[in-house]
């Protein structure tokens, strides 16, 4: 079908849906969703020529003297926003970002993921991802202040009446389904006020689109209940933080799972082993992207079910990469689960560096070390050293240092985005490390 015909069909669809406004969405390098709204009357021009905007004020984009950017809607991402009223009925497109010369902008996170996907495609693979997004629902205090005050006192998989957020999650699921996503599971997580919603896996680009849509949907529906949703990795000291475990697989051109080998003990192919080995090799370096904020490293500590030890296993959930147990008849479900990302990341950049790391392992013929099936959390320093198990960076500063040494990760981001990302993250790290915290006051002010 020609692009002109596709554009005409989308215009007819929007008109029949009664849409009044169009939201053109994209993300900055930090993963913050940005939005440009236009009336429906401007949609034909937007589809044909794109919409100009000023990129100089967007984190990680262009400098003042080269700030003109163009948003080009991806027509496959057209969705009517279900929680908008009829009078303000709106639809959204997720956009790719171009320069005025009609070239893809090198700092567009979505474009960066597309480049990595294209490399995998040349090797004959489709990269699929299925993130499990955890989050907290909080209520405001009696003065209306934003505080980490859990909305309920439920626990892992609790059911009403202890899980008072059942209605909120239900409405979130209805909204996600209206947006074209297939929700596989939702449940209360371990901590009070903590929840998880899992959307069916898909190709990495659609999955990243779904992730930013899921986050904005959760926030919007929570607001209708006078709650606020937070994807902060560790909002409350002493309880579990929120992660974003990502299930990953390769499918070949025939639609078969390229990670599956029936003759292998773990049912993994040589491709899968190379992929796992590549991610283990580069995980220290891409942690700055998959766990990108200061607070991420308050979650990535031993205990609280957050994996920090660089190893892999099948049944061991303390391992960084887990291979879900194989079930007969479910060959297509063969996958590996990377457990260190958190939901504060930009999913486009996160999936891009994860994919490039895995591809490097495949192309370099790497093999992973022996799997660790014991509980790594119980290992002391001697046992960790004996088994040659390293740990993830302990802070954002350490993660940035590791990233600076890794050409594969830098190449995945591209020089422009790498420089802009490091600039923003170093500023964040410096702002944090010079602050004097209440813990320091409590422990040092009188004693020293």
User: Which residue out of 245, 299, 322, 335 is catalytically annotated?
Assistant: 245
Asked if 417 and 333 touch (Cβ cutoff 8 Å), the reply is no
Task: Kindly state the average pLDDT of the residues 7-35.
Answer: 93
Give the span between the Cα atoms of 324 and 429, in whole angstroms: 35
Over residues 351-373, the pLDDT tens digits come to: 999 999 999 999 999 999 999 98
pLDDT at 376 (0 to 100): 87
Give the span between the Cα atoms of 412 and 354, in whole angstroms: 9
Contacts 24+ apart (CB under 8 A), 159-168: 163/188, 165/137, 165/193, 165/195, 167/225, 168/137, 168/221, 168/222, 168/225, 168/227
Of the pLDDT bands very low, low, confident and very high (cuts 50, 70, 90), residue 155 is very low
Asked if 37 and 22 touch (Cβ cutoff 8 Å), the reply is yes
User: Which residue out of 28, 96, 108, 132 is catalytically annotated?
Assistant: 132
Percent of the chain exceeding pLDDT 70 equals: 94
Over residues 63-98, the pLDDT tens digits come to: 544 578 999 999 999 999 999 877 789 999 999 999
> Which of 9-13, 159-163, 214-218 shows the lowest per-residue confidence on average (mean pLDDT)?
159-163
Give the span between the Cα atoms of 258 and 266, in whole angstroms: 14
pLDDT at 161 over 70: no
User: Which residue out of 108, 198, 261, 337 is catalytically annotated?
Assistant: 337
pLDDT at 158 (0 to 100): 47
Whether 134 is a known active-site residue: answer yes
Task: Kindly state the average pLDDT of the residues 140-159.
Answer: 65
Whether 383 is a known active-site residue: answer no
Whether 54 is a known active-site residue: answer yes
β strands within 171-272, DSSP E: 183-188, 194-199, 202-203, 227-230, 244-251
pLDDT at 240 (0 to 100): 84
Asked if 240 and 190 touch (Cβ cutoff 8 Å), the reply is yes
Task: Kindly state the average pLDDT of the residues 440-448.
Answer: 93
Asked if 30 and 293 touch (Cβ cutoff 8 Å), the reply is no
Over residues 167-200, the pLDDT tens digits come to: 888 899 999 999 999 998 877 765 778 899 999 9
Query: How many helices (H) and strands (E) in the chain?
Result: 13, 18
Give the span between the Cα atoms of 203 and 120, in whole angstroms: 12
Tell the CATH topology of 3-105. Ubiquitin-like (UB roll) (3.10.20)
Whether 189 is a known active-site residue: answer yes
H-run or E-run covering 277: helix 270-290
pLDDT at 157 (0 to 100): 43
pLDDT at 166 over 90: no
Residue 330 vs residue 86, higher pLDDT: 330
Of the pLDDT bands very low, low, confident and very high (cuts 50, 70, 90), residue 164 is low
Task: Kindly state the average pLDDT of the residues 152-156.
Answer: 51
User: Which residue out of 42, 187, 317, 416 is catalytically annotated?
Assistant: 317
pLDDT at 154 (0 to 100): 52
C-alpha torsion angle, residues 13, 16, 20, 21 (rounded to 10)? -10
Q: Do domains 3-105 and 114-439 have the same CATH topology?
A: no
pLDDT at 45 (0 to 100): 95
User: Which residue out of 108, 196, 198, 209 is catalytically annotated?
Assistant: 196
pLDDT at 156 (0 to 100): 45
Q: Is 387 left (phi over 0), alpha (psi -120 to 50) or beta?
A: alpha
Q: What is the DSSP letter of 225?
A: T
Q: Compute CA distances 155 → 98, 158, 171, 222, 319, whole Å.
A: 46, 5, 20, 19, 23
Give the span between the Cα atoms of 169 and 182, in whole angstroms: 14
Give the span between the Cα atoms of 50 and 70, in whole angstroms: 6
pLDDT at 68 (0 to 100): 85
Task: Kindly state the average pLDDT of the residues 434-447.
Answer: 94
> Which of 30-34, 58-62, 397-401 shows the lowest per-residue confidence on average (mean pLDDT)?
58-62
* Domain ranges, ordered by start, for the chain: 3-105, 114-439
Whether 282 is a known active-site residue: answer no
Tokens 């302990």 locate to 394
- The phi, psi pair for 268, rounded to 5°, reads -105, 140
H-run or E-run covering 296: helix 296-299
Strands 21-27 and 90-98, by their bridges, are parallel
Tokens of 195: 């929840």
Q: How many CB atoms lie within 10 A of CB 275?
A: 31
Q: Compute CA distances 122 → 116, 127, 184, 217, whole Å.
A: 10, 12, 31, 34
> Which residues have CB under 8 Å from 104's CB, separation 6+?
96, 97, 98, 111
Whether 317 is a known active-site residue: answer yes
Task: Kindly state the average pLDDT of the residues 395-405.
Answer: 98
Whether 59 is a known active-site residue: answer no
pLDDT at 409 (0 to 100): 98
pLDDT at 41 over 80: yes
pLDDT at 374 (0 to 100): 87
User: Which residue out of 28, 96, 108, 134 is catalytically annotated?
Assistant: 134
Of 32-36, 159-163, 188-192, highest mean pLDDT: 32-36
pLDDT at 327 (0 to 100): 72
pLDDT at 144 (0 to 100): 76
Burial 104-124 (b: 16+ CB within 10 A, else e): bbbbbbbbbbbbbbebbeeee
Give the span between the Cα atoms of 425 and 31, in whole angstroms: 13
pLDDT at 159 over 90: no
Give the span between the Cα atoms of 393 and 290, in whole angstroms: 12
Whether 92 is a known active-site residue: answer no
Q: Is 435 left (phi over 0), alpha (psi -120 to 50) or beta?
A: beta
Sign of the CA dihedral with 402 first, then 406, 410, and 412 last = negative
Of the pLDDT bands very low, low, confident and very high (cuts 50, 70, 90), residue 160 is very low
Task: Kindly state the average pLDDT of the residues 146-153.
Answer: 68
User: Which residue out of 28, 189, 261, 406 is catalytically annotated?
Assistant: 189
User: Which residue out of 339, 342, 402, 406 is catalytically annotated?
Assistant: 339
Of the pLDDT bands very low, low, confident and very high (cuts 50, 70, 90), residue 283 is very high
pLDDT at 55 (0 to 100): 81
Task: Kindly state the average pLDDT of the residues 234-249.
Answer: 93
Q: How many CB atoms lie within 10 A of CB 8?
A: 13
Tell the CATH topology of 114-439. Creatine Kinase; Chain A, domain 2 (3.30.590)
Task: Kindly state the average pLDDT of the residues 12-39.
Answer: 94
Whether 339 is a known active-site residue: answer yes
User: Which residue out of 9, 48, 54, 74 is catalytically annotated?
Assistant: 54
């Amino acid at each position: 079908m020609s692009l002109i015909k596709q554009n005409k069909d989308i215009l007819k669809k929007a008109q029949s849906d009664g849409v009044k406004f169009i939201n053109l969405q994209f993300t900055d390098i930090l993963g913050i969703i940005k939005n440009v709204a236009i009336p429906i009357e401007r949609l034909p021009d937007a589809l044909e020529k794109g919409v100009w905007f000023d990129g100089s004020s967007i984190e990680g984009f262009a400098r003042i003297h080269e700030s003109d950017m163009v948003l080009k809607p991806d027509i496959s991402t057209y969705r009517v926003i279900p929680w908008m009223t009829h009078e303000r009925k709106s639809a959204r497109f997720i956009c790719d970002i171009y320069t005025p010369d009609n070239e893809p902008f090198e700092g567009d996170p979505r474009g960066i993921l597309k480049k990595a996907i294209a490399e995998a495609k040349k090797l004959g693979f489709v990269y699929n991802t299925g993130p499990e997004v955890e989050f907290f629902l909080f209520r405001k205090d009696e003065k209306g202040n934003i505080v980490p005050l859990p909305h309920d006192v439920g626990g892992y998989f609790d059911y009403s009446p202890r899980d008072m957020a059942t209605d909120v999650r239900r409405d979130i699921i209805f909204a996600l389904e209206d947006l074209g996503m297939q929700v596989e599971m939702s449940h209360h997580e371990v901590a009070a006020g903590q929840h998880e919603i899992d959307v069916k896996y898909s190709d990495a680009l659609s999955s990243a689109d779904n992730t930013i849509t899921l986050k904005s949907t959760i926030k919007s529906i929570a607001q209708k209940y006078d709650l606020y949703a937070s994807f902060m990795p560790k909002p409350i000291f002493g309880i579990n933080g929120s992660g974003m475990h990502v299930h990953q697989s390769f499918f070949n051109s025939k639609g078969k799972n390229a990670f599956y080998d029936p003759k292998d003990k773990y049912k993994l192919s040589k491709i899968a082993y190379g992929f796992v080995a590549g991610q283990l090799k580069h995980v220290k370096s891409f942690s700055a992207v998959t766990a990108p904020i200061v607070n991420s490293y308050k979650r990535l500590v031993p205990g609280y079910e957050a994996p920090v030890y660089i190893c892999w296993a099948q049944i061991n959930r303390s391992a960084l990469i887990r291979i879900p147990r194989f079930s007969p008849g479910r060959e297509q479900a063969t996958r590996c689960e990377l457990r260190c990302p958190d939901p504060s990341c930009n999913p486009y950049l996160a999936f891009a560096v994860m994919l490039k790391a895995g591809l490097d392992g495949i192309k370099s013929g790497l093999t992973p070390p022996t799997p660790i099936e014991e509980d790594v959390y119980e290992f002391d320093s001697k046992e960790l050293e004996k088994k040659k198990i390293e740990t993830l960076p302990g802070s954002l500063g350490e993660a940035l240092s590791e990233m600076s040494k890794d050409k594969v990760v830098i190449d995945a981001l591209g020089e422009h985005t790498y420089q802009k990302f490091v600039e923003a993250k170093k500023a964040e790290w410096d702002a944090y490390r010079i602050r004097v915290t209440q813990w320091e006051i409590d422990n040092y002010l009188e004693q020293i």
